[in-house]
Structure 1
Amino acid sequence: MDIPVTTPSLPLKLNGSSPAWRPIPVRELSHQTEFSFDPIVDALAAFARGEPVVVMDDESRENEGDIIMSASECTTEAMAWIIKHTSGYICISLPGKRLEELGIQMMVPCNQERHRTAYTVTVDYKHGTTTGISAHDRSLTVRKLVDPSAVASDFTRPGHMVPLRAREGGVIERRGHTECAIDLCMLTDQPEGGVLCELVNDDEMGTMARRDDCRAFADRWGLKMISVEMLAQHRGSLSTP
């Protein structure tokens, strides 16, 4: 008697349209002799498909690479992968208008953070979650933060997700990962909310991943890698007559 063979189905995107991105390492890596970023159009196409991208800021600023992913596409599996390969201090960049709709206030009245990163009060989505810290709970929280049907009373404060208030004008106004996340969503017609966190090296000290480390990581996972400055230049070219 023949036993039917079943193939596990890929998880659907949250909108049910096509398979969600899954973290699968590249088996055969191509050897690069010189460092290079990926074309901005390729990164935007990948982001539009729901894939994370690696984004470097300026070497004279933080000199760090962030994983950035559309919040609306962030599954539990994707969140668990992000937590594993980063500092774990997962943030979500949101426009000021959305934060005001949800009544999420700034963390402190006087921001003394070195780069003026606009941290707000932390939150958890209160329905279908437990402590708020698991990959499931955090992924659900970020998805609901960009869900227009979710209201202020759906979130508890404080929580385990860290919203950041993106500056109006995006990377044109501020060359930060916070603004980059919103611009990536805007340029790919996705709900404006980006999950982001700093990459760290897989070493005993958990050192921060720098440019070449980030390139190796992106190649290992088949991700596109760009810089904040590249996105700013792209946005500038779109507004040039």
Structure 2
Amino acid sequence: MDARLKKAVDAFKNGDPVCLFDSEKREGETDLLFPAEHAQPETMRQLRQDCGGLLFLAIGDDVGACFGLPFLQDLHTDAAAVSNFPVLGHLVTNDLRYDARSAFTLSINHRDTYTGITDHDRSLTTRRFAELAKSAMDSGDSLEVAIEKLGAEFRTPGHIPVCREAEGGLARRQGHTELAVGLARLAGMTPVVIGAEMLQPNGDFALSVDDAREWAGERGIPFLEGADLLRAFADEAPSSS
């Protein structure tokens, strides 16, 4: 592991943020990321004030499978749903410029939240989801038990949009969801990450990679590119020889 990646992994282990740029060939955006299990109100404030983009919760495919969380794209193209709600057939996602499908699954609020949108509410939703995911997977809960536990604490729709890693992770898809989850895995943490896209101050475009790198450097925040994580996972892959 090179020094830059180790610095980012160490920061994540300590609950500190990391800036992660995907690629000019994808969205061309930098996300500010925190390990979800460390989320506090000040975490949400920094994401809200310093980024400007959508707050999202990136989860591992194993977490999604543990709770049976469906991809919204599958729900919206289900034949029965389209028959009952024909508008879905007209709003189908078939023209993404950077990918073949969306990573979004359900949005959630913790049941102890009020509106769900405050920094306090969103940090509670974020942190408790990560804690519950770790507990359910460590305990080897059945799908039925895990879903019951999820429903006891959370409701949908909510104010935390959740994005699920593609099966196979970075070997199959190199989006921000997979990159964020990959960073958590390298840090040995629960694959649940809270983040937001960094926009220009006027919000018209994504913050340029050079400006994002400078912003991170001024604040001592590690900065990674997607290629850094891809190399790390390639180095960890077992040799076929």
Task: Please tell me the TM-score bracket, short chain as reference.
Answer: 0.7 to 0.9
Q: Give the deviation of 1:38 after TM superposition.
A: 7.1
The 8 Å contact of residues 64 and 198 in structure 1, kept in 2 or not, is answered as: yes
Quote the Cα distance in structure 1 between the aligned partners of 2:210 and 2:15. Answer: 24
Q: Give the deviation of 1:153 after TM superposition.
A: 2.8
Matches within 5 A, 1:18-33: none
Quote the Cα distance in structure 2 between the aligned partners of 1:237 and 1:73. Answer: 28
Of the three residues 211, 214, 217, the one matched with 1:213 is 211
Q: Which consecutive aligned stretches of 4+ in structure 1 deviate over 6 angstroms post-superposition?
A: none
The 8 Å contact of residues 29 and 206 in structure 2, kept in 1 or not, is answered as: yes
Of the three residues 113, 119, 122, the one matched with 1:135 is 119
Q: Give the deviation of 1:201 after TM superposition.
A: 2.1
RMSD over aligned CA atoms reads: 2.0
TM-score calculated relative to the size of structure 1: 0.77
Quote the Cα distance in structure 2 between the aligned partners of 1:44 and 1:205. Answer: 29
Aligned length: 203
Paired residue type of 1:71: A
The 8 Å contact of residues 125 and 154 in structure 1, kept in 2 or not, is answered as: yes
Quote the Cα distance in structure 1 between the aligned partners of 2:235 and 2:160. Answer: 34
C-alpha change, 1:132 and 1:42, in structure 2 (3 Å) is same
Matches within 5 A, 1:50-199: 50-109=15-74, 110=77, 111-112=93-94, 114=96, 115=99, 116-127=101-112, 129-148=113-132, 151-199=150-198
Quote the Cα distance in structure 2 between the aligned partners of 1:92 and 1:163. Answer: 5
TM-score calculated relative to the size of structure 2: 0.77
1:190-231, Cα deviation, whole Å (9 max, x unpaired): 1110112110122x3443101111111101221010111110
Secondary structure, aligned partner of 1:146:
helix
Secondary structure, aligned partner of 2:161:
strand
Relative contact order, CA 8 A, sep 6+: which one is greater? 2
Paired residue type of 2:47: I
Q: Give the deviation of 1:113 after TM superposition.
A: 6.1
Paired residue type of 1:238: E
Report the counterpart of residue 4 of structure 1 in structure 2.
none
Q: Give the deviation of 1:106 after TM superposition.
A: 2.3
Q: Give the deviation of 1:76 after TM superposition.
A: 0.9
Greater helix proportion: 2
The 8 Å contact of residues 172 and 236 in structure 1, kept in 2 or not, is answered as: no
Secondary structure, aligned partner of 1:197:
strand
Report the counterpart of residue 4 of structure 2 in structure 1.
39
Quote the Cα distance in structure 2 between the aligned partners of 1:117 and 1:142. Answer: 21
Quote the Cα distance in structure 1 between the aligned partners of 2:191 and 2:62. Answer: 11
The 8 Å contact of residues 122 and 163 in structure 1, kept in 2 or not, is answered as: yes
